């Protein structure tokens, strides 16, 4: 009699090694670009530029599959019957630095969509082709039905009917973050990372920084900024999007190059040069009739993207890991809090992680700008049981008490017409915190610490009590705290101390 394992073995094999007529492997980036070149829109920059049918992630079509039903099985069999007659490309990539026991990811895509393989190979560090991998992503963009099937047990994702590269990238990293949680005792963070070298009362020190934030709240802007620091002070930019935080307080990077949003790139000098270089691979950006790429034309989508090479971004090196995290920033675009607040405890930080609070930005939906929004961990890629992530972050912060956590408001204060937190205000506030030049005082209405003073022009504009009376502010914040608590209690299994901390 067949054991359950034997019975499932052919299924798992087909899932992780899709059958195909022939498999193209070990192709160089140039070869992938050449195979995909029939799709590239000519432009004066000389970049590969692809326009996709689907232009953002298909969250509503994403299913986490733990047990196979007849319908899912029959769909997969149809897909495999189709692939049996197709040529596919396989790219083997490394998630993480070569010296840190990285994960290996295999990405399979039908040859017609070589552009996805081209972007994947440029985004990650490629390795010599190998048959076994920790993570498998199978992409069949031409499939008539749109479905993203995530199989956490088999560390495999099957993407059907989407040719948006972000789906492939995030399927792979979603699984890497899941493995970090399930096998490494860590937690995946939808966050950028950098090192900031600043003068502190003890002399020049390097501070490892993690920057969380929902799309459009300033993650890339802050991560790539030099904060106006001059040598010997300065920054080293490590990662733009996904880090794996380990129990020992180190954060492993995942990507070699960055997959940036281009809607604001004209205002982001640090990445504009990289996006304007011929090495960039552009997705869904407009090319004017004269052949110039026009990042400000959003006719195709507000989710224009580019793979930009890290060596074209100032202050990057080959390094992608952060050996010591000293500070974590939670970016929120709000209209009622100071530029920076310090959280009081690991419990409070874990609460703000679970709250994943912000407002909708134009990057997401221009017609709903300003509406409140919450996503646990600022991370739409948590596969299941988000409270496990909150509890895990709590444990890591308790075990590494040197890590300080801050809320950074990249919106305004005093309402929609209040004082604007310009990027410069934010950059200076962050340096103030890291260099320990800010004196903190407890604000009983906010329930956390706020700067006694900020070293920025017109600092009083950014003080809540310039805009609100104490009674008014107590009422606004009181209502918010109640709403936050009501939200947190819904997470069964979340440590009680986290719920009590807001
Ligand atoms: N205080 C601020 N901090 C960071 N970015 C800000 C701030 N105020 C306005 N912005 C603008 O908001 C946009 C943030 O975009 P980006 O950094 O790409 O966000 P994310 O990486 O979170 O998607 C940029 O255009 C930036 O200039
Ligand atoms: C690729 C995506 O993720 P991010 O916005 O974090 O780059 C996406 O959401 O489409």
pLDDT at residue 312 in the model: 98
- The CATH class of the 4-39+57-182 domain is alpha beta
Index of the ligand 1 atom closest to the CA of residue 268: 27
Task: Using the mean position of ligand 1's atoms as its centre, give its distance from the Cα of residue 410 in Å.
Answer: 7
Quote the pLDDT of residue 500: 96
Ligand 2 contact, 174 CB (< 6 A): no
DSSP string, 293-312: EETT--SS-S--EEEE-GGG
- Ligand number, closest to the Cα atom of 456: 1
Instruction: Return the CATH number of the domain spanning residue range 187-255+320-500.
Output: 3.90.228.20
- Domain residue ranges of the chain, discontinuous segments joined by +: 4-39+57-182, 187-255+320-500
283 lines ligand 2 (CB under 6 A): no
Mean pLDDT of 273-300: 98
Task: Report the chain's mean pLDDT, rounded to a whole number.
Answer: 95
pLDDT tens across 252-265, in order? Answer: 999 999 999 999 99
Question: pLDDT band at 67, cuts 50/70/90?
Answer: confident
Is residue 189 a contact partner of residue 252, using CB atoms and an 8 Å limit?
A: no
**Inter-residue contact 157 to 361 (CB < 8 Å):** no
Please tell me the number of the ligand nearest to residue 413's CA.
1
Residue 139, H or E segment: strand 135-140
In the predicted model, is pLDDT for residue 1 greater than 70?
Answer: no
What element of type H or E holds 426?
helix 423-434
Chain CA centroid to CA 318, Å: 19
**Secondary structure class of 183 (helix, strand, coil):** helix
Q: Which atom of ligand 2 is nearest to the CA of 169?
A: 1
Sign for the CA dihedral angle at 81, 175, 222, 307 comes to negative
Sheet strand arrangement including 305-308: 48-50, 281-283, 305-308, 258-261
pLDDT at position 7 is: 62
491 φ, ψ (degrees, to nearest 5):
-90, 95
- pTM of structure: 0.95
Q: What is the mean pLDDT of residues 2-8?
A: 54
Rounded CA-CA distance 410/335 in Å is 9
3-state helix, strand, coil in the chain (%, to 5): 35, 25, 40
Separation CA 120–CA 94 (nearest Å): 11
Nearest C-alpha neighbor of 162 from the set 61, 49, 18: 61
| Predicted local distance difference test score (pLDDT) of residue 4 | 46
Mean pLDDT of 168-188: 98
């Amino acid at each position: 009699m067949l054991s359950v394992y034997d019975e499932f073995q052919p299924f798992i094999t087909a899932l992780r090694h899709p059958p195909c007529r022939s498999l193209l492997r070990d192709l160089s980036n140039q070869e992938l670009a050449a195979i995909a070149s029939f799709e590239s829109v000519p432009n004066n920059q000389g970049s590969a530029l692809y326009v996709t049918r689907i232009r953002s992630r298909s969250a509503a079509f994403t299913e986490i599959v733990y047990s196979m039903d007849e319908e899912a099985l029959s769909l997969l069999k149809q897909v495999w019957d189709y692939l049996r007659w197709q040529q596919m490309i396989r790219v083997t990539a490394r998630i993480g630095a070569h010296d840190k026991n990285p994960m290996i990811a295999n990405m399979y895509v039908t040859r017609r969509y070589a552009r996805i393989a081209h972007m994947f190979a440029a985004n990650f560090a490629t390795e010599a082709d190998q048959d076994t991998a920790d993570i498998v992503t199978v992409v069949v963009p031409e499939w008539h039905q749109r479905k993203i099937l995530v199989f956490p047990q088999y560390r495999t994702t099957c993407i059907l009917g989407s040719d948006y590269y972000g789906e492939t990238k995030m399927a792979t990293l979603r699984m890497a973050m899941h493995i970090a949680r399930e096998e490494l005792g860590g937690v995946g963070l939808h966050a950028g990372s950098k090192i900031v070298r600043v003068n502190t009362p003890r002399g020049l020190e390097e501070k490892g920084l993690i920057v969380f934030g929902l799309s459009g709240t300033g993650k890339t802007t802050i991560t790539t900024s030099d904060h106006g620091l001059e040598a010997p002070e300065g920054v080293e930019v490590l990662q733009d999007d996904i880090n794996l935080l380990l129990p020992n307080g180190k954060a492993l990077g995942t990507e070699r190059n960055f997959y940036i949003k281009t809607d604001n790139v004209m205002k982001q000098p640090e990445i504009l040069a990289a996006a304007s270089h011929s090495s960039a691979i552009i997705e869904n950006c407009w090319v004017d009739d004269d052949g110039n790429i026009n990042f400000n034309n959003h006719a195709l989508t507000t989710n224009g993207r580019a793979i930009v090479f890290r060596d074209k971004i100032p202050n990057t090196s080959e390094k992608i890991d952060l050996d010591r995290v000293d500070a974590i920033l939670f970016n929120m675009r709000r209209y009622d809090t100071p530029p920076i607040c310090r959280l009081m405890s690991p419990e409070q930080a874990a609460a703000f992680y679970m709250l994943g609070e912000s407002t909708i930005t134009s990057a997401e939906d221009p017609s709903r700008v300003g509406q409140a929004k919450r996503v646990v961990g600022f991370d739409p890629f948590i596969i299941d049981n988000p409270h496990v992530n909150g509890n895990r972050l709590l444990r890591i912060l308790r075990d590494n008490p040197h890590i300080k956590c801050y809320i950074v408001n990249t919106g305004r204060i005093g309402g929609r017409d209040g004082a604007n937190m310009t990027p410069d205000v934010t950059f200076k506030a962050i340096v103030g915190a890291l260099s320990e030049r800010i004196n903190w005082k407890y604000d009983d209405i906010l329930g956390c610490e706020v700067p006694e003073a900020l070293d920025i022009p017109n600092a009083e504009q950014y003080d809540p009590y310039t805009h609100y009376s104490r009674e008014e502010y107590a009422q606004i914040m009181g209502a918010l705290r109640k709403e936050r608590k009501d939200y947190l209690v819904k997470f069964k299994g979340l440590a009680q101390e986290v719920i009590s901390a807001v």
